[in-house]
Amino acid sequence: GAVVSQHPSWVICKSGTSVKIECRSLDFQATTMFWYRQFPKQSLMLMATSNEGSKATYEQGVEKDKFLINHASLTLSTLTVTSAHPEDSSFYICSATRSRLASSYEQYFGPGTRLTVT
Amino acid sequence: TQLLEQSPQFLSIQEGENLTVYCNSSSVFSSLQWYRQEPGEGPVLLVTVVTGGEVKKLKRLTFQFGDARKDSSLHITAAQPGDTGLYLCAGPNTGGFKTIFGAGTRLFVKA
């Protein structure tokens, strides 16, 4: 199989605090991980692409200083939402692939993390 | 800009009915994937189509890739309540460094 886990599955935090979300590929080595954000009843919005050992590539409009991404190993990527605000409340989903090229692989998604900022 | 347009956006049908969901683009894609997502969960890959004109079947689900590789369809036969969910089509952008997603079709199958 190709299993991706996320932790935590849901988190509530106070405005101004930081939250870290972990994404792990459990049974394969992921050269590339993607972080998405999904608002209710909408499709996935790509936030950033993370390759092991290098800096993440952020999509236009995504603040790199606010959404810190670290891909320190082939099985773990983390997303830290710094100084969270209520508008950061959303469903965050990661995915992992075995290849750096989207055209030659299929993405395997984690179960998502529901973040609520109060 | 490569876009994937899905239709319909929302579909509510009775158990046992058939339905087709469409995914269209003006751009050629090297492959297209279909995912199903249930509320509060991540998308689950259903199928990847690669060859123009390709047809793949997954139990009651039939996926077709257009001859020109610009469109795809998903046909569900005798829909069941367990088919309820958000169906997303997706494909690699030019250069293949990231995936483009359609807006999704939200399906609700009533018992």
Instruction: Please report the pLDDT score of residue A24 as a whole number.
Output: 95
Take residue A74 and report the two structure tokens written for it.
Answer: 């082939």
**Starting at the edge strand that comes first in sequence, how are the strands of the sheet with B5-7 ordered?**
B5-7, B19-24, B71-76, B61-65, B55-58
Cβ neighbours of A4 in B, within 8 Å? 42
**C-alpha atoms less than 13 angstroms from C-alpha of B2 in its C-beta half-sphere:** 20
Q: Could you please report the per-residue DSSP string of A92-107?
A: EEEEEESSS-GGGS--
Residues with Cβ within 8 Å of B77's Cβ and at least 6 positions away in sequence, in order, are B18, B60, B61, B62
Instruction: Please report the pLDDT score of residue A4 as a whole number.
Output: 94
Q: Is the distance from CB of B79 to CB of B18 less than 8 angstroms? A: yes
- Which pLDDT tens digit goes with each residue over B37-96? 998 899 999 999 999 999 999 999 999 999 999 999 999 999 999 999 999 999 988 876
d(C-alpha A48, C-alpha A60), whole Å: 9
The residues with which A102 forms a beta bridge, in sequence order, are: none
The residues with which A89 forms a beta bridge, in sequence order, are: none
Residues with Cβ within 8 Å of A60's Cβ and at least 6 positions away in sequence, in order, are none
d(C-alpha A107, C-alpha A100), whole Å: 11
Would the CB atoms of B93 and A102 count as touching at under 8 Å?
A: yes
For tokens 């050629």, the residue is B28
Backbone angles phi, psi at A108, to 5 degrees: -115, 120
Q: Is the distance from CB of A38 to CB of B86 less than 8 angstroms? A: no
**Contact B85/A at CB under 8 A:** no
Instruction: Please report the pLDDT score of residue A29 as a whole number.
Output: 87
Min Cα distance B18 → chain A (Å) is 23
For tokens 């997502």, the residue is B37
B 17-46 → A contacts, CB under 8 A: 30-31, 33, 35, 40-45
d(C-alpha B23, C-alpha A107), whole Å: 18
Take residue A95 and report the two structure tokens written for it.
Answer: 């995915």
Would the CB atoms of A43 and B43 count as touching at under 8 Å?
A: no
Residue B24 clears pLDDT 90, i.e. is over it: yes
Instruction: Please report the pLDDT score of residue B98 as a whole number.
Output: 81
Q: Is the distance from CB of A115 to CB of A99 less than 8 angstroms? A: no
- Which pLDDT tens digit goes with each residue over A75-115? 999 999 999 999 999 999 999 987 655 545 678 899 999 99
For A61, counting Cβ atoms within 10 Å of its Cβ (0-12 exposed, 13-18 middle, 19+ buried), the class is: exposed
Instruction: Please report the pLDDT score of residue B96 as a whole number.
Output: 65
Min Cα distance A3 → chain B (Å) is 11
* Bridging pattern class, strands B85-92 and B32-37: antiparallel
Mutate to test the interface with A, among B69, B97, B100, B106 (most CBs of A within 10 A): B97
**Contact B102/A at CB under 8 A:** yes
Would the CB atoms of B92 and A108 count as touching at under 8 Å?
A: no
Would the CB atoms of B42 and A95 count as touching at under 8 Å?
A: yes
Identify the band that residue B108 occupies on the pLDDT scale cut at 50, 70 and 90.
Answer: very high
